[in-house]
Amino acid sequence: MQFDIFTLPFNIGLYFILIYAVVRCVRWFSDLSKADKLRLQRGFFGRPFSQSIREIFLESLIHRKILKTNPRLGYMHMSLAFGWFLLILFGTIEADVFGTHHLNAPYKAIFFRFFNPDHGQTPFERSYAFLMDFILAFVLSGLLLAVLKRFSSKIVGMKKTTRLKPLDKIALTSLWLIFPSRLIAESLTCGAYGTGSFLTGTLGSFFASFLPANELAYPFWWLYSISLGTFFVLLPLTRYMHIPTELFLIFARNSGITTGDQPGSYKEIQTYSCSSCGICIDACQLNFSAGITNIQSAYLMKGIRNNTNVSDIAFNCLMCGRCDQKCPVGIELSPIRMIHRRNQENPVQSGKLIDRYFPARLKPVQPKTVPEPSYAWLPEQEVEKADVLYFAGCMTHLTPAIRNSMISILDASGLNYSFMDKDGGICCGRPLMLSGQDKEARELINRNSQIIWKSGAHTIVTSCPICYKVFRESYYLDVEVLHHTEFIQKLIADGSLRLNFMRKRIAYHTPCELGRGSGIYKAPKDVLKHVAQFQETAFEDENGLCCGGSLGNMKISNAQRRAIASDVAAELTKGNPDILATSCPLCKKTLAAVTSVKVADISEIVASAIIDPAEKKKSKDSCRMPDLAVDFKM
């Protein structure tokens, strides 16, 4: 009978966490909506299954995304996750091949060396022992980085690392203890029996030369077992819950489940999948430009998990979506934040530990006590019939240059258009949504929808990315919604807009709502490349910065906004462009206030490049000299 009392802590921990994970997954599954359950079932027994397995291997074990963005940090995570996985895998094989029985209990593989101290006599056994030592060394190298990271996060190339709660720290310590205690326990046993490979063997014979190795080994085997057991038992209460949860998340996501706009099981799965790695903290501009370090998504997830009041965190965010792009787990951080903005929860907090760790799951959403509709006073507007409707939006009315440019572009295009909010229309509803007031926003949306329907337009063009996003996502319209950059791109493509080429270098600032928010990256750049020399910056497309003027944040002060804007302007004008272009009136206003470089909207640049109709006749065939454009790039 191969059993020793010291394996008990490990066994208790292991079976506890296995049962806990299964129960938790079943409850999560049963809380999914009916449609999502069906999706998950189809996904699990269908094609997404292999995709999920692949993703689990690449992301949960290899940590490919982190490796790409930050190799050192990626190596740290990979060595711990993948190394530990290999250790378990090859340990199980080792116990099966070299042990006395086949199909052993898990503890026999984990403590294989203890039960088979004289393993490693034949050459084959020796080479296998070498492999095991090698994997252990791999894990330990990552552990070393992890320990160093706690003292100075710069070592792994991070500016900030996540602050932990006490229980996390205990779990972290037990995790750190697992591998060194294994190393010492194995080394001492190997030392006593003269086995082991380059790591355990060498260290073992060194210990055995002056220590009673055989007697000392036993306490270290205990330590190894206890640290494993502690880690497993604490796992559900700490951020390490992400290890089992992430597997579930990957299956759910690949089956096509999305967060939606209401709290639910999938949102909970996502919050538990956050490992508090801190990549979102480094990506956040509020952190590196405005010095706000307690509201990043990692802390939001932590707050939700700990059942604390997160309403301050939820509202203090630019909603720029940079963290969504950077999150290696692929958690839909902004939608989760929006859910918490919508359900502004009551700050009722009981300080009891039990409530914090075992919250009442899926709290019934309390209906907000909202007074009667607030916008009943809005006047009925007269609607002009037109093919194309131009909606400038509130912010564009503050930047008359953009509005006038768009009018001249629309005039030049020769389309039958109507200016929907010529005398100042009503708001599109997005700002209200961003502040969590969907019901009020819906009133405005209905108003605007009516106007659009009545006009009979087939296309609506807007100058403001904020309006653009809400038109596309929250208006149920049967019309084509275009941002003016897309619209101009179309006009250029079908030849109805002829433009000069300007000898100017232009850098482009991607507005958050247009770029990450709506996925429009190409159109603005195509237009710019058509009219001038485009200059790349270090922050293009998904990595674009937020200008700081975002309506998403209610909390930050004017000075903090300026600090963010100054940093952004400084970064984008590093190449000394003649013009800093953008495609959002709000970004334009925010950036123009903090830089000496000319800031202009794409529509302004295009409008200034429109060829005079009189001139157009003169040189009808080739107004744009393509050869010149090529020369200019040099």
Of 61, 211, 398, 407, the residue at the interface with other proteins (CB under 8 A) is 398
Q: Is 431 in the site for other proteins (CB under 8 A)?
A: yes
Q: Which stretch binds other proteins (CB under 8 A): 217-225, 327-335, 557-565, 568-576?
A: 557-565
Q: Which stretch binds other proteins (CB under 8 A): 176-184, 259-267, 368-376, 607-615?
A: 368-376
Quick one: which of 251, 250, 299, 243 has its CA closest to 272? 243
Q: Is 374 in the site for other proteins (CB under 8 A)?
A: yes
Residue type at position 74: G
Q: Is 453 in the site for other proteins (CB under 8 A)?
A: no
What is the DSSP annotation of 585-608?
HHHHHHHHTT-SSEEEEHHHHHHH
Of 444, 546, 568, 572, the residue at the interface with other proteins (CB under 8 A) is 444
Side-by-side strand order, sheet with 598-601: 533-535, 505-509, 579-582, 598-601
How far apart are alpha carbons 241 and 256 in whole angstroms? 23
> Which residue, 156 or 395, has its beta carbon nearer to other proteins?
395
Q: Is 426 in the site for other proteins (CB under 8 A)?
A: yes
Q: How far is the CB of 373 from other proteins (least distance, A)?
A: 9
Q: Is 465 in the site for other proteins (CB under 8 A)?
A: no
Q: Is 382 in the site for other proteins (CB under 8 A)?
A: no
How far apart are alpha carbons 621 and 598 in whole angstroms? 33
Q: Which stretch binds other proteins (CB under 8 A): 53-61, 89-97, 300-308, 419-427?
A: 419-427
What is the Cα gyration radius of the chain? Answer: 30
> Which residue, 358 or 375, has its beta carbon nearer to other proteins?
375
- Which residues contact residue 554 at a Cβ distance below 8 angstroms, ignoring those fewer than 6 apart? 315, 316, 435
Q: Is 367 in the site for other proteins (CB under 8 A)?
A: no
Q: Is 320 in the site for other proteins (CB under 8 A)?
A: no
Q: Is 479 in the site for other proteins (CB under 8 A)?
A: no
Q: Is 69 in the site for other proteins (CB under 8 A)?
A: no
Are 359 and 429 in contact, with CB atoms under 8 Å apart?
no
Of 323, 327, 402, 427, the residue at the interface with other proteins (CB under 8 A) is 427
Q: Which stretch binds other proteins (CB under 8 A): 56-64, 322-330, 391-399, 525-533?
A: 391-399
Q: Which two tokens stand for residue 89?
A: 């895998």
Q: Which stretch binds other proteins (CB under 8 A): 131-139, 322-330, 348-356, 555-563?
A: 555-563
Q: Is 613 in the site for other proteins (CB under 8 A)?
A: no
Q: How far is the CB of 604 from other proteins (least distance, A)?
A: 18
Of 136, 249, 432, 457, the residue at the interface with other proteins (CB under 8 A) is 432
Of 377, 478, 613, 614, the residue at the interface with other proteins (CB under 8 A) is 377
Q: Which two tokens stand for residue 299?
A: 């802390």
Of 3, 57, 198, 375, the residue at the interface with other proteins (CB under 8 A) is 375
> Is 624 exposed, middle or buried, given 0-12, 13-18 or 19+ CB atoms closer than 10 A?
middle
> Which residue, 254 or 462, has its beta carbon nearer to other proteins?
462
Q: Which stretch binds other proteins (CB under 8 A): 196-204, 297-305, 553-561, 572-580?
A: 553-561
> Which residue, 344 or 418, has its beta carbon nearer to other proteins?
344
What is the DSSP annotation of 61-127?
IS-HHHHHH-HHHHHHHHHHHHHHHHHHHHHHHHHHHHSSSSS--HHHHHTHHHH-TT---SHHHHH
Distances (CA, A) of 331 to 55, 57, 275, 327, 456: 14, 17, 11, 6, 40
Q: Which stretch binds other proteins (CB under 8 A): 69-77, 139-147, 421-429, 573-581?
A: 421-429
> Which residue, 38 or 554, has its beta carbon nearer to other proteins?
554
Q: How far is the CB of 64 from other proteins (least distance, A)?
A: 40
> Which residue, 209 or 557, has its beta carbon nearer to other proteins?
557
Q: Which two tokens stand for residue 394?
A: 């509130």
Of 378, 493, 570, 628, the residue at the interface with other proteins (CB under 8 A) is 378
- Which residues contact residue 123 at a Cβ distance below 8 angstroms, ignoring those fewer than 6 apart? none
Instruction: Give the per-residue SS3 of 380-434.
Output: CCCCCCCCEEEECCHHHHHCHHHHHHHHHHHHHHCCCEEECCCCCCCCCCHHHHH
Q: Is 101 in the site for other proteins (CB under 8 A)?
A: no
Q: How far is the CB of 551 from other proteins (least distance, A)?
A: 5
Q: Which two tokens stand for residue 491?
A: 């006009």
Q: How far is the CB of 435 from other proteins (least distance, A)?
A: 6
Q: How far is the CB of 89 from other proteins (least distance, A)?
A: 54
- The number of C-alpha atoms within 13 Å of 259 and in the hemisphere containing its C-beta is 19
- Which residues contact residue 281 at a Cβ distance below 8 angstroms, ignoring those fewer than 6 apart? 159, 160, 161, 162, 287, 293, 296, 298
Are 492 and 501 in contact, with CB atoms under 8 Å apart?
no
Q: Is 397 in the site for other proteins (CB under 8 A)?
A: yes
Q: How far is the CB of 558 from other proteins (least distance, A)?
A: 3
What is the DSSP annotation of 301-351?
HHHHHTT---HHHHHS-----HHHHH-TT---HHHHHHHHHHT--------
Are 313 and 295 in contact, with CB atoms under 8 Å apart?
yes
Q: Is 369 in the site for other proteins (CB under 8 A)?
A: yes
Q: Is 549 in the site for other proteins (CB under 8 A)?
A: yes
Q: Is 610 helix (H, G, I), strand (E, B) or coil?
A: strand
| Calculated CA dihedral for residues 326, 332, 337, 343, nearest 10 degrees | 180
> Which residue, 323 or 551, has its beta carbon nearer to other proteins?
551
Of 69, 325, 408, 435, the residue at the interface with other proteins (CB under 8 A) is 435
Quick one: which of 381, 10, 431, 411 has its CA closest to 222? 10
Of 32, 586, 587, 594, the residue at the interface with other proteins (CB under 8 A) is 586
Q: Which two tokens stand for residue 140?
A: 């330990």
User: How many residues interact with other proteins (rule CB under 8 A)?
Assistant: 32
Q: How far is the CB of 445 from other proteins (least distance, A)?
A: 12
Residue 60 has φ and ψ, to the nearest 5°, of: -75, -30
DSSP, res 533: E
Quick one: which of 47, 168, 41, 189 has its CA closest to 112? 189
How far apart are alpha carbons 378 and 452 in whole angstroms? 16
Q: Is 383 in the site for other proteins (CB under 8 A)?
A: no
Q: Which stretch binds other proteins (CB under 8 A): 3-11, 144-152, 377-385, 474-482?
A: 377-385
Q: Is 348 in the site for other proteins (CB under 8 A)?
A: no
Would you tell me which residues interact with other proteins (CB under 8 A)? Answer: 369, 371, 374-375, 377-379, 394-395, 397-398, 423-427, 431-432, 435, 437, 440, 444, 549, 551, 554-559, 586, 589
